[in-house]
Each structure stands twice: as C-alpha cells, then as structure tokens.
Amino acid sequence: MTATTASAAPKKAGKEATTKPAVDPNTAVAKSHGGKVWVAADSIPTVEGDALEKWLAAHPANVELARKGNEDRWPINFLAVFKKPPAKGPITVMLVDKKEPRIIVDQFSPQTPGGALVYQEGYDLEQNNGFNKGHTYVIRVGQLINKKFQLYASGEITLK
C-alpha cells in the first residue's frame, strides 16, 4: 500500500507540473507587503513564504543607517516585494533625495531573470556619489518600460 501511494504521487505531481505554472512561494507575502522595500545594514535572509512573512513583520521598512567608522559609504542590503510579477528583463533601482524627488542621486539596472515577486540585492551608497549624512533617500524599484519608469516598490533610508 505504501509503494502504491508513493508511485501515485509522482505521477500526479508530474501531471500538475505540466498543466499548471509553478506558484511563487511569496504570493501571500506580495498580498500583505507588496509595494514596499526593506533596507538593512546587515544581511537579509534569503527565505520565502511564511519565514519571509515573519522576517518582514519583525523589521521596519524605513530605517536609519549609520556608517561604520570613517568609511565614506553606507553598505546596504535591500529587499523589494512586488504586488505582481515584473516583466522579464532588468530591474531598475533608483535612489532620490526625499527633499528633491525629481533629482536622481543614483540609478542602476542589474540583469535579473524577472518574474519573481521578491527582489533582493546589496549595494553601496557612496558619499562620493552624492549620498550625504543627515539626508533621507527614497529607494524606488521597478523597470524601464517604453522609456518610462514603472514603479513596483519603494521605501526610505535615512543616513546617519
């Protein structure tokens, strides 16, 4: 009986895999936290589903970050949760000063496979690149589609 049950399960799973697309494990996370970006000086765990939901609930989305020692940069890790999957292609991350939102302080577009509801990356906010102590920056994560920025998630970082 155990052997029959075990052999029946793979057939059913195989049939479902060919008829249904894979479900993103972060679908529930996207419903409750979609549109937000979390930033941390420490690493953000690479977890999914319920574990990610618990981590997000325990950490504030908008943070204050201090430099380590006399460094001229603030190393950050950020995690963006999208409400719906992005298009295939590179994600664009844009950082603007909250007081002057029309001026882009920094922007980068890493190559990504696209389609996932959660995007995670590390980056350095460098003083030589226009980032200043005492300023609050808005981090916007989205994509350039038809030469226009499509916003998927945003958050704030205050540099100390």
Q: Residue 18 pLDDT > 60, yes or no? A: no
Query: Strand (E) positions, the chain?
Result: 36-40, 63-65, 73-81, 92-97, 100-108, 118-126, 136-145, 148-159
Alpha-carbon span 65 to 99, nearest angstrom:
18
What pLDDT does residue 61 have?
81
Coil, strand or helix at 53: helix
Beta bridge partners, 150, equal 143
Alpha-carbon span 123 to 90, nearest angstrom:
16
Tell me what the pLDDT averaged over the chain comes to.
83
Q: What single-letter DSSP state applies at residue 79?
A: E
Domains of the chain: 27-159 (2.60.40)
122-155 pLDDT tens trace: 999 998 888 999 999 999 999 988 989 999 999 9
What pLDDT does residue 16 have?
45
Q: Residue 55 pLDDT > 80, yes or no? A: yes
24-53 pLDDT tens trace: 888 888 898 899 999 998 888 888 888 998
Burial class (CB in 10 A: 0-12, 13-18, 19+), 24: middle
30 or 22: which carries more pLDDT confidence?
30
What pLDDT does residue 22 have?
60
Beta bridge partners, 126, equal 73
The pLDDT > 70 percentage for the chain reads 85
Confidence at 12, pLDDT banded by 50, 70, 90: very low
Confidence at 15, pLDDT banded by 50, 70, 90: very low
C-alpha to C-alpha distances, 135 to 40, 41, 71, 74, nearest whole angstrom: 16, 16, 17, 12
Alpha-carbon span 24 to 118, nearest angstrom:
9
